[in-house]
Amino acid sequence: MTLAKWSAALRRKVLPPRTPVRRRFLLSAVSLASLASLASVAPVALAALVGGCQKTPEEPSAATTSAPTVFAVPPRTATAAAASVAPPKVSAPACPSDPEPNASLPTALLRFPAGPTLTVELARTAHDTERGLMYRTSMGEDRGMLFYLTAREDHAFWMRNTCIPLDMLFVDELGTIVGILEDVPILNEEPRSVGRLSSYVLEVNGGWCRRHGVRAGQKLLFPTLPK
């Protein structure tokens, strides 16, 4: 063996070449030693270095995100709200008893040229005019009372002892309605007039004029008086 070959063999035995595997091992050992020294200071950083590069945590998807629960209180109905503030009911005053329960008046048909026909009771005396529709608790829709008054003037009527609301039609001698009092309230003694001269007054149920389209300025046909 020549001297050159012997020297080459000796170098291979004393200083064998470092393989790539050994270099990776040394690098890992150094890295782990460095990381161990940091473990007590920064555990989170250590875990990040050991595990390598991690993805940024993904945002939770809309399907897995739970929406907050909302409890809606239903609004009170108008009926319930009104009931909570409604005033207490007050009983209407009782209708006085009739001192003449068997009193009756003659009747006749009263017509409107372009309207309804009424069966009216005829009040022609002072007594009948004063009593009028007192003490009644009801009256038919096609019924009424016609007052024959003694003078043509601005007459005033009241609701003394009268227990049903009334419409009052003030009529002149030609049959023209000069004014109407609608839905006159019951059981009161306040005199009411229309500020026009009249010779007759027709009383019907409250609201009758509106229901049948009867207005001031229209005419009516007086009934034929019974003998």
For residue range 100-127, what is the model confidence (pLDDT) as tens digits?
999 999 999 999 998 899 999 999 999 9
| CATH number, domain with residue 154 | 2.60.120.1140
Element (H, E) at 85: helix 78-85
In a domain, 187, yes or no: yes
**Which residues constitute the domain of residue 30?**
20-53
Cα–Cα distances in angstroms (integers) from residue 128 to residues 104, 123, 132, in the given order: 9, 5, 6
Distance separating alpha carbons of residues 153 and 11, to the nearest angstrom: 153
**Please, which pLDDT band fits residue 60 given cuts at 50, 70 and 90?**
very low
Count: domains in the chain: 2
In a domain, 99, yes or no: no
In a domain, 12, yes or no: no
Residues 6+ apart with CB under 8 A from 49: 31, 35
Place of tokens 């009383």: 203
In a domain, 111, yes or no: yes
Examine the fold and report which residue of 11, 30, 53 is the final residue of a domain before the chain moves on. Answer: 53
